[in-house]
Amino acid sequence: MHGLPYELADLYSTTPAATSVELRVIDSNFRAVRETEVDARIEMFVRIFLVSPDEIPPVILVAGLERLLIADGRHRIFGALRAGLRSIPAVILEPLGGMTSRSTARLIGARMSARAAQPLQLRERRRLAVMFISEHPDWSDRKVGAEAGLDHKTVGKLRKTGNSPARTDGSDTYGFGPRAEDQAVAAMERFFAKLRDAAVFDNLKTFRPRVAHELARAMAERFGPNAPRVARTMTDYFANVASELEGVDG
């Protein structure tokens, strides 16, 4: 039985048992830390899966809202797909308290990359730091740097330049500074993570009205007399988003 790596010991007090997970329920489009896969490594795992699959350790997944997110083991998962397998051994972890599924997967992926044979490139570490800054604005530069593999001064520069530092090759941008829409989604993910954590210890029948009351109070403090108009505007936007997601013409 495979336990969790020591890099994750301070994040999870217990080790979930590995289980067989169908590949179709894994979100292979989500990238925790790496921008690309190495084809040779995928082919290596294809050969191992076909000869001695029991020798491959389980991948690490994080439970998402609809699908499982890959925190560690993208090459193994793509190798299993190429080998024609329908499932793969995996350890499924819950999102960390106060963190979204995506942010949890990135944190785990960053820590696991430190022990990988192929370390993250500087571009990937910078991108990771940008994500952490956007998703966790309360994290200090040292905290972001420790998790992303950068020194705190570099993180401070990323934070001051709006999370979009200049390239060293003469072009304008690294191309991964978050858009306003992405920042809004990240903020919603943090909000839903807090709702999830709070709802576990609350009466669900009274939870939603109480949260609505607290949101109304917070918006009144932030937007003053414009708060009702802001709330209605947000409602209209989310109605349009729901229509887009459901395939209904808005």
Query: pLDDT higher for 7 or 47?
Result: 47
Mean per-residue pLDDT, 193-214: 67
Which residue, among 93, 69, 72, 89, has the nearest Cα to 19 in the 3D structure? 89
H or E element in which residue 38 lies: none
Which of 99, 163, 180 is CA-nearest to residue 127?
163
Assess whether pLDDT exceeds 50 at residue 165.
no
Which residue did the predictor score with more confidence, 93 or 121? 93
pLDDT greater than 60 at residue 170 = no
Lowest mean pLDDT among 3-7, 61-65, 233-237: 3-7
Q: In the predicted model, is pLDDT for residue 71 greater than 70?
A: yes
What φ, ψ does residue 210 adopt, rounded to 5°? -65, -40
Q: What is the residue whose two structure tokens read 């890959």?
A: 70
Integer CA distances (angstroms), 200 to 92, 167, 207, in order: 19, 45, 10
